Amino acid sequence: MIEIEIKAKVNDIEKIKDNLKKVDAKFIKTEEQIDRVFGHSMFLDENKFIIEGGLSARIRQINDKKQIDFKEITRDKAGIEVSAELGSVEDGLRFLKKLGFEEAFTLKKSRDVFEYNNFTICLDRVDKLGNFIEIEKLVSLNSEEEKIRQECMELLNKLAPDPQIERKKYGDLIQEILNKNK
């Protein structure tokens, strides 16, 4: 499966929640996420950004659940993602260290998850970055990517007043802040 997603910075999450109610979107859950993000020197540029097609790793805690993820970084198209549950954060840290990954930063967010017409809609409140909406859909064929991306955009415009499309990953946005503060 391939995940097609768009993300936008938004000002008024409550207005978006009202719009989700109006279209009868189903509220799924609220999650508190802590992501410890890792980079590998072979995939980093001179500014510590992960290069296009490179891999990042993260240890994600969602409430009491812990998982390790490896993601192919593709900023304008779908990428490969592999996840596995962890027994402990410490196990994940040891594993990533053996693979040569180094911790880059921690990202904290509160996420409200909704479903609507086979789309997953996430309303994120991200420490240091602000409020965002992500709209995503899983597809089985690459050939559907542009069609689904257009459907995501149409849904975004229906739900979010004045969205500011954000093509950068949260990790890139945090890395920009870290680079400015050097």
CATH code (residue 24)? 2.40.320.10
In this prediction, residue 19 carries a pLDDT of: 97
Please give the pLDDT value at position 78. 65
Tens digit of each residue's pLDDT (9 = 90 or more) over 84-140: 999 999 999 999 999 999 888 899 999 999 999 999 999 999 999 999 999 999 887
> What's residue 75's pLDDT?
65
How confident is the model at residue 56, as a pLDDT? 85
- The pTM assigned to this predicted structure is 0.83
- Asked if 137 and 2 count as a contact pair (C-beta separation under 8 A), the reply is no
Higher-confidence residue: 63 or 12?
12
Per the structure, the count of domains in the chain is 1
Inform me whether the pLDDT recorded for 161 exceeds 90. no
Domain that holds residue 149: 2-180
- Residue 76 confidence (pLDDT): 66
178 falls in which pLDDT band (50, 70, 90)?
Answer: confident
Q: Which long-range contacts (CB under 8 A, 24 or more apart) does 10-14 make?
A: 10/131, 10/132, 10/133, 10/160, 10/161, 10/162, 10/163, 10/164, 11/131, 11/161, 11/162, 12/131, 12/161, 13/112, 13/123, 13/125, 13/131, 13/133
